[in-house]
Chain A
C-alpha cells in the first residue's frame, strides 16, 4: 500500500520553511529601542503599577476610582507629560509580581509602597527615582495582649506578606534581639489580615503608613495598637527601569516639583495667582514663567504648573490621604518638609 501523500510537506520545502522561520525569529525581537517617554506619548497614557488596595497609598473608592499618595504621583507624572492627570492606566500588582512587571516593560512606572534598597537597585536593574514616603516597619497587635514593646515578642507568631521586606526585616530584628518570632507568610495582605483577625497570629507587620491604613480598615480599630518601634528604614519609592535615565529624571523631578511647590508656598488653590503675580525667581522657573525647564526634560513649559494645578503640592497630597482630614490621621513625621524637621527636601530648580 502506498503511504499517505505528503506532497505539501516535501522535504526541501520543510527545510526551507524551518530555515526561513528560524531566521525571522533570530533577527526579529531585539529591536526595542524606543524610549519610555516616546512609548508613553504614542500610547496616549501612562501605565502605572500600583497596590491593589492599601488605604493611604492606593485604594479604590466607592466609585471604583483609585485614590492615594502613590496614585497622586502617577497622576502627577501623567499631568507633566500630557497636561492631563487622568491619562493613567493603573495596573494593580501583587508584591510578588511588581518588579517583574516593571522589568519586562508591562508598566512604565511602579509606585506601590515599595521600599528602595541596595539589592533592588543593583540586582533587579531598577532605579528608585523618587522617595515619596519615608516609612519604617512597625508592628500591630491586639491591645488585649498587653504588649508594650516589640522586645517582648519572644515566641510570638507573625502574619507576614510574601515578597515584601517584612519577612527579612522581622527575621533580622529577631536575630539582633535574640528572640524567636514565628512567621506565617501569606500571598496577599488581605489573607494575612484575615488570619490575624482569626487569631492565627499575634502580630501584623508592615510599614507604618500601610499599617495605619490596615488598622483603619479592621472591624474595631481601637482594639488594635501600633507599637512605637520602627524596626527598619523603608523609603517607599517610585521605581523605574535602568537604561532609560531620561524617564527616571522626569519622574524624579515631578516629585521634586511637588515638594518644591509646598516649600515655595504654591498650591493647587493659588497656582494661577502665583504664575501671574509671583516674584520668586525659583517659583518662576518652576511654573515656566521664566526659562523653559520643561523642554530640558522633553516636556512643555507648563509641566510643573499642570502637576500642581491638577494634583497639588506634596503637602496637599499627604493631607488628603494620610492627614488629619483622612481616616488614617498619621502625623507627617519623617514626611514633613525639611524645614519642619522632616526628610522631604527638593534640590533647587536652577
Chain B
C-alpha cells in the first residue's frame, strides 16, 4: 500500500512539491529569525513605526506639497509619485522612439537603416548609468545661471535650474472647465463607439479628438464666468518662482532612460516586423493595398504577437532603471526613501523591504497589463 502510494506519479509529484514548499518556508523562517536575532544582538532597534516620525529634510521636486515637517511616510509617497511619473513618461517616449528606429531599420533606405543601426549599437553597448550622468551634465553645462536666463518674452525662461513656463490659472471656473473636458471626452468616446455605423473620414476623427474635449473645457470655463490669468515665472533672489517648472534632473533621467530603452525596444519591434512572413506582405501588395495599409492591417497585428512578451520585459527593466535617479539627485523612491530616509532613520532592513515590495508591485502591475493586452491581441485568429 505504502509503496504503491510512493510509486503513484501524482502522489509522488505532490509530495515532492510539498517538501519543496516546506523547505522554502523553513529557509525563509530561518532567514527572518536570523535577521531578528542578529539585529537585537547588535542593539539596533527595528519596526516600521519610524514611518510616522518627522522627516526633517527638504525635497526640491515634488508632485504633492512637501514640507520638512512632514513624515517619512509622506516622503515615501513623494518618491512613489516621482518614480511613477518618470516611468510613465519614459515608457511612452521610449516606445515611440523605439518604433521610429525600428521602421528606419526595416525601411530599406540605406541612410535611415545605417544611422539607426549605428545609434542602436552605440546606445545599447554603453552602461545606462553613465548615459544618465552624461545627459545630466550635458544639460547642466551649457545652460546659463538664473540671472542670465534665456527667455521668450516673459512667458518662458530657460536656465541651469530648469525650464519655467507661464501656467494658465482659472479663477473659479476650474471645476466647470474640468466638467466640460469630461463631457467633451464622453461625446468623443460615444462617437468612436458608433463610428462603424456612421462613416467618418479618418481626418475628421483626429480633429474631433482635439476639438471636443478642449471646446468642452472652454465652454465650461466661460459659462461659469471664469477669467483666465497667467501664473508667470519671476526671478526672486536666487531662483525663479511661479509658473510650471521642468527640472533638469527629471529631463536628464527621462532622456537617459528613453534613449537607452529605445535601442532595445527598436530591436524587439524590428524582430517582430521581420518575423512576419514575406509572403504575407507580398500577397497584400499584389491585392493592391498601399504600403501604409499593409503595415496597419497585415504586418503590425501579426508582429505584435512577437513583440509584446519581450517588450513587457523591457518595460520592467525601464521601471527598475528609474532607480538610477539616485546618481543625479532626482527624488525617486530609491533616492528619497532608500537613500535619505534609510540614513536618517537607520532602519536599513525595513526600508529596503518596503522599497523592494514597491518595485515588485509596480512590476507585477505592468506584467498584468501587458499580459491582458497580449491575450487580447492573440485572440484574433489568423
B140 touching A3 by the CB < 8 A rule?
Answer: no
B19 touching A125 by the CB < 8 A rule?
Answer: no
Q: Point out the residues of chain A lying under 8 angstroms from B141, CB to CB.
A: 198
Q: Is A265 interfacial (CB-CB < 8 Å)?
A: no
Q: Point out the residues of chain A lying under 8 angstroms from B160, CB to CB.
A: 198-200
Q: Point out the residues of chain A lying under 8 angstroms from B69, CB to CB.
A: 175
Q: Is B346 interfacial (CB-CB < 8 Å)?
A: yes
Q: Point out the residues of chain A lying under 8 angstroms from B339, CB to CB.
A: 96, 162-163, 185, 187
How many residue pairs link A and B with beta carbons under 8 A? The number is 146
Q: Quick one: which of B16, B238, B331, B340 contacts A156, CB cutoff 8 A?
A: B238
Give B21-50 as 1s and 0s: 1 = Cβ < 8 Å from A's Cβ atoms: 011001100100010010001111100000
Q: Is A123 interfacial (CB-CB < 8 Å)?
A: yes
Taken together as a complex, chains A and B put the C-alpha atoms of A174 and B339 apart, in Å, by 21
Q: Point out the residues of chain B lying under 8 angstroms from A276, CB to CB.
A: none
A155 touching B346 by the CB < 8 A rule?
Answer: no
Main secondary structure of the interface of A (DSSP, over half): mixed
Q: Quick one: which of B6, B23, B27, B57 contacts A168, CB cutoff 8 A?
A: B57
Q: A125-B44, A156-B239 are in contact. Are A181 and B58 (CB under 8 A)?
A: yes
Taken together as a complex, chains A and B put the C-alpha atoms of A124 and B346 apart, in Å, by 6
Q: Point out the residues of chain A lying under 8 angstroms from B328, CB to CB.
A: 186, 191
Taken together as a complex, chains A and B put the C-alpha atoms of A95 and B339 apart, in Å, by 10
Give A221-245 as 1s and 0s: 1 = Cβ < 8 Å from B's Cβ atoms: 0000000000000000000011100
Q: What is the interface size of chain B, counting residues whose CB is below 8 A from a CB of the partner?
A: 55
Q: Point out the residues of chain A lying under 8 angstroms from B9, CB to CB.
A: 3
Q: Quick one: which of B16, B43, B335 contacts A14, CB cutoff 8 A?
A: B16
Q: A124-B346, A125-B42, A171-B68 are in contact. Are A22 and B23 (CB under 8 A)?
A: yes
- B307 to nearest A CB, angstroms? 35
Give B278-299 as 1s and 0s: 1 = Cβ < 8 Å from A's Cβ atoms: 0000000000000000000000
Closest A residue by C-beta to B141: A198
Q: Is B15 interfacial (CB-CB < 8 Å)?
A: yes
Q: Quick one: which of A30, A99, A154 contacts B237, CB cutoff 8 A?
A: A154
Q: Quick one: which of B41, B144, B326 contacts A162, CB cutoff 8 A?
A: B326
Q: A22-B26, A162-B340 are in contact. Are A119 and B16 (CB under 8 A)?
A: no
Some 30 contacts from A to B, beta carbons below 8 A apart, are A11-B6, A11-B15, A14-B16, A25-B27, A26-B30, A123-B346, A124-B346, A145-B238, A155-B236, A155-B239, A155-B241, A162-B340, A163-B339, A164-B343, A167-B58, A167-B344, A170-B58, A172-B68, A174-B58, A175-B68, A175-B69, A182-B60, A182-B239, A183-B58, A185-B57, A185-B331, A185-B339, A187-B326, A199-B145, A199-B160
